[in-house]
């Protein structure tokens, strides 16, 4: 089935849905309130982690092989890969059950992992504080995606494929029953309208208000001291899990900066607000960071940044049909980018009638086992 689709939002979810629909022969118009890509989008950053390790959310772990294959299809279309396979190292300072659950999934998926001797920690990672570390685990099937480059290339690709790109065009109304929207005072009609508006989505789709909640999150970009620069340049993605909370660390690769952030949701904030992190935004991150890094005071802070994503109670994606001709995609919390291309393309497949629409919500929530992998 083909037709005309209106997509609201130029983040990874909207771009991927537009890509999936256009490849299936649909006419697509994509609306973005800011520039394309938009620095205020949740998707807009230098790097994002992707990995198969998923703790107790084993349904999402099972989606990851297909997510990696979807990225590969995108690299083929845009002509270059924006993925750096670094592996991931987990520095566990207390046992919260994450490791046992993750190992079960990794075994099922055939992804390699191994314990690193604690005695090797300081040699390989001289920047990390060894005190209090109980276990160090290295996993394969993980690395970094480079979102700014991905989105820029996707915008170019979509333009080349004939998608109508409407930058700096804010959508003010959506009618999911009629497949229409209003942007800049003009009404547009389609066979389907998809709201993929990130932390703004509940303004256009009231049914998700209070369920998929905008959450202001802080990250720090850092410049390491010169004597640690080589160690950082060779580092994998790092996740440091302490009793008081964990941090994730993206090493400087392919011209990106060293970045740290945490996994605790603020569940507050207005997505239109300023993107500079305040001392209040950073209050929680600093102590965890000082505990994880040795000599934190020797690092230069390059940028304290605030970003927004949406978060549901259980951290699962909220994707569903809305009305007779509408869909909403709310990519959730800190794992929405790695799955963004897969979920966007999956919604496109449902709209095109290639898969049952009623199954998509549970699939995107990581609650159903995906189809067996193609040989």
Ligand X SMILES: Cc1cc2nc3c(=O)[nH]c(=O)nc-3n(C[C@H](O)[C@H](O)[C@H](O)COP(=O)(O)OP(=O)(O)OC[C@H]3O[C@@H](n4cnc5c(N)ncnc54)[C@H](O)[C@@H]3O)c2cc1C
Which residues here bind ligand X, judged by CB under 6 A? 8-14, 31-34, 38, 40-43, 48-49, 170-171, 196-200, 204, 217, 219, 261, 307, 309, 331, 334-338, 340
Q: By the 8 A CB rule, do 43 and 147 touch?
A: yes
Distance CA 212, CA 194 (A): 16
Quick one: which of 166, 71, 63, 61 has its CA closest to 113? Answer: 61
Q: CA neighbours within 13 Å on the CB side: how many for 331? A: 31
* Closer Cβ to ligand X, 191 or 315, answer by number: 315
Q: By the 8 A CB rule, do 174 and 129 touch?
A: no
Q: How many CB atoms lie within 10 A of CB 133?
A: 20
The least distance separating ligand X from the CB of residue 227, rounded to whole angstroms, comes to 28
Distance CA 356, CA 363 (A): 11
- Where helices occur in the chain by DSSP H, the ranges are 12-23, 58-78, 98-109, 121-124, 147-161, 201-204, 226-233, 279-282, 285-292, 340-351, 360-364
DSSP string of 146-161? Answer: -HHHHHHHHHHHHHHH
């Amino acid at each position: 089935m083909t037709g005309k689709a209106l997509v609201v939002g130029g983040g990874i979810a909207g771009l991927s849905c537009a890509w999936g629909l256009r490849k299936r022969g649909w006419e697509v118009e994509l609306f973005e309130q800011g520039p394309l890509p938009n620095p205020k989008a949740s998707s807009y950053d230098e790097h994002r982690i992707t990995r198969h390790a998923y703790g107790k959310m084993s349904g999402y772990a099972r989606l990851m092989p297909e997510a990696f294959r979807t990225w590969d299809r995108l690299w083929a279309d845009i002509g270059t890969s924006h993925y750096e396979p670094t592996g991931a190292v987990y520095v566990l300072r207390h046992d919260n059950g994450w490791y046992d659950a993750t190992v079960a999934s990794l075994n099922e998926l055939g992804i390699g992992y191994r314990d690193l001797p604690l005695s090797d920690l300081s040699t390989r990672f001289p920047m990390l504080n060894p005190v209090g570390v109980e276990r160090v685990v290295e996993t394969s099937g993980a690395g970094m995606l480079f979102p700014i480059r991905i989105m820029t290339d996707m915008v170019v690709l979509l333009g080349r494929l004939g998608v109508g790109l409407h930058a700096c065009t804010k959508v003010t109304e959506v009618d999911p029953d009629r497949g229409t929207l209003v942007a800049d005072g003009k009404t547009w009609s389609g066979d389907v309208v998809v709201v993929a508006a990130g932390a703004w989505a509940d303004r256009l789709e009231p049914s998700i208000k209070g369920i998929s909640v905008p959450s202001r999150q802080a990250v720090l970009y850092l410049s390491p001291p010169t004597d640690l620069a080589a160690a950082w340049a060779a580092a994998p993605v790092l996740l440091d899990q302490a009793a008081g909370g964990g941090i994730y660390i993206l090493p400087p690769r392919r011209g990106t900066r060293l970045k740290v952030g945490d996994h605790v949701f603020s569940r507050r904030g207005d997505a239109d607000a300023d993107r500079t992190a305040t001392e209040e935004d950073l209050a929680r991150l600093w102590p965890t960071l000082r505990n994880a890094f040795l000599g934190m005071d020797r690092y230069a802070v390059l940028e304290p940044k605030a970003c927004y994503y949406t978060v549901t109670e259980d951290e699962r994606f909220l994707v569903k049909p809305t009305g007779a001709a509408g869909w909403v995609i709310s990519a959730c919390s800190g794992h929405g980018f790695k799955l963004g291309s897969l979920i966007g393309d999956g919604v496109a497949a449902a709209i095109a009638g290639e898969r049952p629409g009623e199954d998509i919500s549970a699939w995107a929530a990581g609650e159903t086992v995906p189809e067996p992998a193609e040989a």
